Structure 1
């Protein structure tokens, strides 16, 4: 790591001296099942990090640890200079209000319209907003995903791709500093998946968010990633750009790219 004045050269690129997120030697087990085995990595502001790995590799557990839903056994997880493993629940909730989620299935409330889904999220994260301010925030979030016309529709009236985009609007409405994407293109046809990929790229440019993207989709990984880490049995097996991972000589890593 080379430091030059106000910047650090990290992962081959200039970066702010302190990363926005840092995992330091994190361990997590469930009984005899060792899920995370001392993983360490950083994420900078404005960086998209892909976490690649097969089922059971520790991807989802790492994210749960990041937001404090699962307590680590050992290690530190630092967000904006604070070790969240040592925070109270109230302090954790303040950190969580800076994090937006795009769940794999969209996770919308079926009985609420799109407007009501977004307002519900806003009310739980941004206090004391007027009705006009909330309506403006809803419209802006929907414009960001190209679905302003769906504002009064119920989730059941939307296609899978539209529900995914509304889920992304809900993540954006709180103006997060960090976004976690869980299989953002999962279950989508190639055209709709490409639309979601373009949205992820545009959101990074517009909001300068730090993002963690959990995916099995190599096309999504290729076009949204600044950096990729590959997990196997709770350890980082490989790390680097998409080209670095694609050209890795380890047989297990190479297996991701077999047709």
Structure 2
């Protein structure tokens, strides 16, 4: 029996006034898949994800997660779905007034208020260990580097044991080496927690390292999709433009093969 996709978007339309951002996007994501979405700024990548979890209301279309069309759910029903989904935001979105421990505790208690203090501590340490930052447990966000903030943000994402993770520009603002480390962490998380992921990025190295499949959005529609290698070898000039800068670094030490 064929397995149903864990995410199914069909004919998604979204406009803001006269600005038609999405013009009939359709895509599916299989369980355990890491899907990368690429596109120029303003192409609607983040809008599609926000519609998918109900942060924005779609103008038209079917948006199914775990086999349920979220456009037909009330607030309480939608929140039940969201409890199974993790988000890693572009800026980290940590609370500046809370330590790393407090940030993770807040997230855990928000999702599962029945946990004992012992269980909370155990899960915090496990999440921080998964991103290699146990030693930062009592630091404040102001004491962390950009790369460390990304790691803590990822720890906060996985601490709720999500089945799906949405990554919004996970390597933005990072140097090449740190960005590569974050990409490796995304792969490690997928392997350890068996997550399904959608990764929105402009970083072609991140796309190459993390994506089982890549979708390019242009003018509100899916322009092309395939593996990194398939798209890299495309004869289409617009598609090739995404890979030009990356190929300049291909000979650099440590570049992923």
TM-score, normalization: structure 1? 0.93
Question: How far is 1:250 from its partner?
Answer: 2.0
Unaligned stretches of 5+ residues in structure 1: 1-5, 8-16
Of 133, 152, 171, the match for 2:157: 171
The range that moved more, 240-249 or 209-218, is 240-249
Q: Provide the residue aligned with 2:172 in structure 1.
A: 186
Residues 22 and 41, structure 1, Cα contact 8 Å, conserved in 2: yes
Q: Provide the residue aligned with 1:69 in structure 2.
A: 55
Q: Provide the residue aligned with 1:250 in structure 2.
A: 236
In angstroms, what is the RMSD of aligned CA positions? 0.9
Question: How far is 1:127 from its partner?
Answer: 2.2
Question: How far is 1:154 from its partner?
Answer: 0.3
SS of residue matched to 1:258: helix
- Counterpart check, 1:43 vs 2:32: no
Q: Provide the residue aligned with 1:159 in structure 2.
A: 145
State the distance in 2 between where 1:44 and 1:180 align: 14
State the distance in 2 between where 1:24 and 1:126 align: 32
State the distance in 2 between where 1:126 and 1:43 align: 27
Q: Provide the residue aligned with 1:112 in structure 2.
A: 98
Question: How far is 1:249 from its partner?
Answer: 2.2
Spell out, residue by residue over 1:86-107, the C-alpha distance to the aligned partner (whole angstroms, 9 max, x if none).
1001111111111111111111
Post-superposition, which runs of at least 4 consecutive aligned residues in structure 1 deviate over 3 A?
A: none
User: How many residue pairs were aligned?
Assistant: 245
Of 65, 74, 77, the match for 1:91: 77
State the distance in 2 between where 1:55 and 1:189 align: 20
Question: How far is 1:126 from its partner?
Answer: 1.2
Spell out, residue by residue over 1:175-230, the C-alpha distance to the aligned partner (whole angstroms, 9 max, x if none).
00010111111111111111101100111111111101010010000010000000
SS of residue matched to 2:21: strand
Matches within 5 A, 1:1-259: 6-7=1-2, 17-259=3-245
State the distance in 2 between where 1:200 and 1:230 align: 20
Q: Provide the residue aligned with 1:14 in structure 2.
A: none
TM-score, normalization: structure 2? 0.93
Unaligned stretches of 5+ residues in structure 2: 246-257
